[in-house]
Chains A and B, each alone.
Chain A
């Protein structure tokens, strides 16, 4: 033992030297101690100037970019609130939130800033709440310092040492429930030089929700613990509500502009395959860090993680934000829109043909004498199978509570021409079909289908599924399309 000790000491000394060499070789990422004060990468010294009150805005809004060349003390004020809000039309849910919204507001600071975070808990809350920011280097990400009973306030400070896009969330027990109820948001720590200029910035956060009732079952829904354990959500949503980014709430851009999205995923369970239909990410910050990937179609956003993406919008029309685990987009609500305005850009995107693809879908052995009517019907069936049946089902019976039936549909047969506008422009709001009320959103198919295809599919549906028959001509579709959007 006495012989062993000196050799151990020698080994320890060797390790210390190695560590010293290592730290000087990697000085950019090391921590050292000078005169008792610790120097750390990303620490640009004490905050300068008067403290800055962070101006928070509701999502999908984003605070203005930072144009500052020095670290500051930034005061951020959050209040945890438990609020009953609509999760979908006619469906209410008891959200637990930061500042009343899911996600909570996007916090924007500069690397090296000292953040003074005030966490107030609404006196009407049931629960104690706290905050764990993934931008914090320290125990619990601040959670231990911010456990706040109803009617109290906690304050803690941290230095934002690393740039990137980070999630914050509540970490009070039971943690999965606090997150499932919507207690998360994003903090953006800008690098010292700031972010490249873009024309539009938006804030989108995905979350999975577990309600005791089924999808679109109306009324106040409670949190369902078993569904959460099984990871079988009722809703997968952007910004905490179905339709929060569609229709009148759609994000907007102009032809030739660039768009930046700060994208978070609160979870609690699902990983998002984030995709913009009709767009390519020029830049995607992998997992919200500093690695930038280019020309990306779909990027993974981990639960409790983020990405920051930039895309160009060179042509007019509607881009769709989806989780490309695609059933979530069409069956559980994970759908948003970016509406791009401006003149058509036929050199970049142009619909050239508008006739039925005779022979393409069928082998050459097709009987030459196939009538126009028959090929129109076959095309209608194709469109129905490829597009309509995803929601209205293959037998056109729809899904109770979600998608109205097209089969034996009194609504359809009462006014077949009305259906032209619905297929072209989509439909949202309450309708009654075969004495049953439906309230959901049908996306516009006008941008996807030409006049002939719409005429064909409507004619196909009218003459099948025990409907009354009739036909719609491409000219009629063209007229409605030219007439703009009738409501």
Chain B
């Protein structure tokens, strides 16, 4: 295991597109998702992967669009990004009031995916993201801690109307990851498929959550309000949409896993 991991890290180090971004190793594991996929609790097996310790920042995204003009504001295809793409920036290549160390937001799913691909990574799957977000500072799964759940909820509510603050201000969690739960919503690669169908009589996915009663069926663990808010916020978006509080981080597969 440690040999393989070392090999992987070596590979990252020599990869030409690799940035200074810090990826941390996430061990394999099993957990029960709060979502009720197919109408019941799902025990999910997670393969090991590595994940950016922090969300992608404005500074990092500026480097990316400087190198790839097709992702600059004003030049990006409207198929891949909406009119509010990078709206907080002063210009296509000028951050202005947007702080370097703030997470980049107002980026579409397409743009986030392109950024990750450029550093030989991908967006996490929902389950990968949920798996690591279940942790607190000392436990891999702290989701039954009601005080922790209320703290997450209150932190989200307290930041009403503001853009996310700068990264790295909170303690890292069990895995060494920061800013997973309180700062912003993050794209996942499969977000659009998050609700395949809890009711097989209803054609099409996704719409179920939109109904008042539907969302009660869609969550196995109904106490995870911070998580529900995140799922609701993400599933309302189309892949070319963006929002002031939606950013992302990338993950990498471990070779041979």
Question: A residues near B, CB below 8 A?
Answer: 82, 84, 94, 123-124, 126-128, 130, 132, 139-141, 143-144, 147-152, 169, 171-175, 177, 212, 220, 222-226
Contacts and interface: CB of A to CB of B under 8 A. Distances in A.
Interface stretch (B42-50, B68-76, B119-127, B230-238): B230-238
Nearest to A139: B211
B114 interface: no
Contacts of A148: 236
B212 interface: yes
Interface in B205-234: 207, 209-212, 214-216, 218-219, 222-223, 225, 228-229, 231-233
Given A225-B150, A225-B223, A128 B233 contact: yes
B211 A126 contact: no
Contacts of A175: 212, 215-216
A212 B244 contact: no
A140 B202 CA distance: 13
A450 B146 CA distance: 52
Contacts of A94: 157-158, 160
- Greatest chain B CB density within 10 A among A126, A140, A222 is at A126
A174 B228 contact: yes
22 contacts: A94-B157, A127-B232, A128-B233, A128-B236, A130-B210, A140-B211, A143-B211, A143-B212, A144-B207, A150-B244, A152-B241, A172-B215, A173-B215, A173-B229, A173-B232, A174-B229, A174-B232, A175-B215, A177-B228, A224-B150, A225-B146, A225-B223
Contact of B161 (A124, A143, A172): A124
Contacts of A212: 150, 154
Contact of B233 (A82, A126, A132, A151): A126
Interface in B140-186: 146, 149-150, 153-154, 156-161
Given A123-B244, A126-B233, A144 B153 contact: no
B229 A127 contact: yes
A223 B232 contact: no
A172 B236 CA distance: 9
Contacts of A130: 210
Contact of B146 (A144, A222, A226): A226
B211 A171 contact: yes
A127 B233 CA distance: 5
A225 B232 contact: no
A102 B79 CA distance: 38
B84 interface: yes
Nearest to A149: B236
A174 B231 CA distance: 9
B238 to A, nearest CB: 9
A416 B154 CA distance: 45
Contacts of A226: 146, 150
Nearest to A129: B236
A324 B96 CA distance: 56
A174 B225 contact: yes
Given A172-B215, A175-B212, 17 more contacts: A124-B161, A126-B229, A127-B229, A127-B232, A132-B211, A140-B210, A141-B212, A147-B210, A147-B236, A148-B236, A150-B244, A172-B236, A174-B215, A222-B153, A223-B153, A223-B157, A225-B146
